[in-house]
């Protein structure tokens, strides 16, 4: 193999890797945008707040009492759906979707959902019972600061307290 040929192969391989990585990054950014449009700081936090209700379909129960139905694979063509009551959401699900697991009803899946809270500082949604939150000691920290879990993170709580002191 000549040096020139070797260089070309190497570059081609590198281009392919880069393209796949770029596409993954674009997709990740779009999913983060989706999360942000639903008032979640990251896609991961959106996913943790949601329950899978059918194939590629998730729901969550937001702090403002709105049920959101979203899909990670179809969000490019389809906006998330918003339901102000559980009944119409159930009706929609029964009409359009098959259950992921037989024997588990849509009602029982929805019952698994915790209603989110909205951070008093950044207004992002957060799950007050998120195990990660408890694991990181955020709950304990906020309680010690005299705040009853109204902030998504110690950072928001501290910033809010700091700004209050400035006034």
Residues lying near Zn ion in the complex (CB under 5 A): 119, 121-122, 152, 156
Residue number with CB closer to Zn ion (53 or 133): 133
How many other C-beta atoms lie within 10 A of the C-beta of residue 161? 15
Phi-psi region of 103 (alpha: psi -120 to 50; beta: other; left: phi over 0): left
Residue number with CB closer to Zn ion (70 or 117): 117
| Residue 3: CB minimum distance to Zn ion, A | 56
Contact yes or no for 56/71 (Cβ under 8 A): yes
Residue number with CB closer to Zn ion (62 or 69): 62
Angle at 48 between CA 90 and CA 43, to 5 degrees: 105
| First-to-final CA distance of the chain | 72
| Residue 118: CB minimum distance to Zn ion, A | 9
Residue number with CB closer to Zn ion (34 or 125): 125
């Amino acid at each position: 193999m000549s040096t020139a040929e070797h260089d070309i192969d190497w570059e081609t391989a590198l281009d392919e890797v880069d393209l796949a990585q770029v596409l993954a990054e674009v997709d990740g950014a779009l999913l983060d945008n989706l999360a942000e449009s639903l008032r979640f700081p990251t896609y991961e936090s959106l996913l943790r707040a949601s329950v899978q209700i059918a194939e590629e379909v998730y729901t969550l129960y937001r702090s403002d009492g709105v049920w959101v139905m979203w899909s990670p694979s179809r969000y490019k063509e389809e906006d998330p759906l918003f339901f102000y009551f559980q009944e119409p959401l159930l009706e929609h699900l029964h009409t359009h979707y098959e259950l992921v697991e037989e024997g588990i009803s849509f009602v029982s899946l929805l019952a698994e959902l915790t209603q989110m809270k909205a951070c008093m500082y950044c207004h992002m949604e957060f799950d007050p019972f998120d195990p990660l939150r408890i694991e990181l000691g955020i709950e304990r920290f906020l309680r010690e600061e005299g705040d009853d879990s109204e902030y998504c993170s110690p950072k928001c709580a501290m910033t809010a307290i700091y700004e209050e002191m400035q006034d």
